[in-house]
Amino acid sequence: MSEAILEVNGLTKVFGTKKSQHKAVDNISFRLEQGECLGIIGESGSGKSTTAHMIAGLLKPCSGEIDYKGRYLQMIFQNPIRSFSPRMNILDSLCEGLLYQSDLPRKEIRKKALEAMDMVKLPRDYARRYRSQLSGGECQRAAIARALMIHPDLLICDEVTSALDVSIQAEIMQLLYRLKQSMGISLLFISHDIALVSGISDRVAVMHDGKIVETGDTMALIENPKQDYTKELIASVLPVYGEKEKIMER
């Protein structure tokens, strides 16, 4: 077995008061291999974002362990516009983190920022633009460029294409795939859209009601799902793979 970059064991998050508790994430375990893309699929409210936030350290688990063996992880969100300050241009936004966290000279950091823009195919003359001057897709590229500034070994992508047009979605998916292939970045790719997830993921974990109900290699899982919930999820978007007849019967 290859080296895991992330191991999650018995992770649980309960929200609410003592009287009314809700297990948003219920005792989940999984591992992510170095350079692998693990997809997490599940309908809205199944606990995907809560899981992502705990791994990224934005939310404290109630119990369980997160063993992240890499150096830097970065999270990319659904709404890229909101993650940029309206008063800072793209170049400054990209440089901000390293300006505070490293001793690198300003000039060196700017050079890195322009290189990061090249990597996500954002024209360099966009550096002076503000977030309102970028389209949704361009803004998501900028968010990915900013994530690349610290040379992450793990990117957690939470519904990163959900706010984008379908044609732009495909471009962002290609970009992420390219980063995985050429830079060996590991990906945790989270989406409610099984078609998107299966396009990029080596393995998939299906979440339902806070639990992982099924895990497997992407193709095997799609062609031969074991759980009824997974079958329904597949049938709803990929009737050709799924159980078309059964749906018709219902």
Interacting residues with Mg ion (CB under 5 A) = 48-49
Residue 46 interacts with which of ligand ADP, Mg ion, none, CB < 5 to 8 Å by class:
ligand ADP
Name which of 50 and 198 has its Cβ closer to ligand ADP: 50
Give the tokens for residue 46: 């199944």
Using rule CB under 6 A, residue 167 touches ligand ADP? no
How far, in Å, CA of 188 to CA of 159, rounded? 11
Compute the distance between CA of residue 114 and CA of residue 205 in angstroms, rounded to an integer.
36
**Does 161 interact with ligand ADP (rule: CB under 6 A)?**
no
Burial annotation 200-211 (CB, 10 A radius, 16+ → b, else e): bbbbbbbbbebb
∠ CA 204-14-50 to the nearest 5 degrees?
Answer: 40
Under rule CB under 6 A, which residues in 75-104 are in contact with ligand ADP?
Answer: none
83 binds, among ligand ADP, Mg ion, none (CB under 5 to 8 A by kind): none
Residue written as token pair 């049938």: 235
Measured at the alpha carbon of residue 174, what is the angle toward residues 241 and 72, in degrees to the nearest 5?
Answer: 110
- The beta strand positions in the chain, using DSSP E, are 4-16, 21-33, 37-41, 63-68, 73-76, 154-158, 186-191, 203-208, 211-217
Residue in 5, 8, 38, 49 binding ligand ADP, rule: CB under 6 A: 49
Nearer to ligand ADP, 76 or 94 (CB): 76
Q: Is the separation of the CB atoms in 155 and 176 below 8 Å?
A: yes
Selected range binding ligand ADP among 41-49, 129-137, 225-233, 240-248, rule: CB under 6 A: 41-49
Closest listed residue to residue 119, CA positions, set 80, 152, 87: 152
CB of 46 to ligand ADP, least distance (A): 4
Which of 44, 132, 167, 182 forms a contact with ligand ADP (CB under 6 A)? 44
Q: Which stretch binds ligand ADP (CB under 6 A): 43-51, 102-110, 218-226, 228-236?
A: 43-51
Among 6, 32, 41, 46, binds ligand ADP (CB under 6 A): 46
Which of ligand ADP, Mg ion, none lies near 137, with the C-beta cut-off 5 to 8 A by kind? none
45 is in the binding site of which of ligand ADP, Mg ion, none (Cβ under 5 to 8 A by kind)?
ligand ADP
For binding to ligand ADP (CB under 6 A), which residues are involved?
A: 15, 22, 24, 42, 44-50
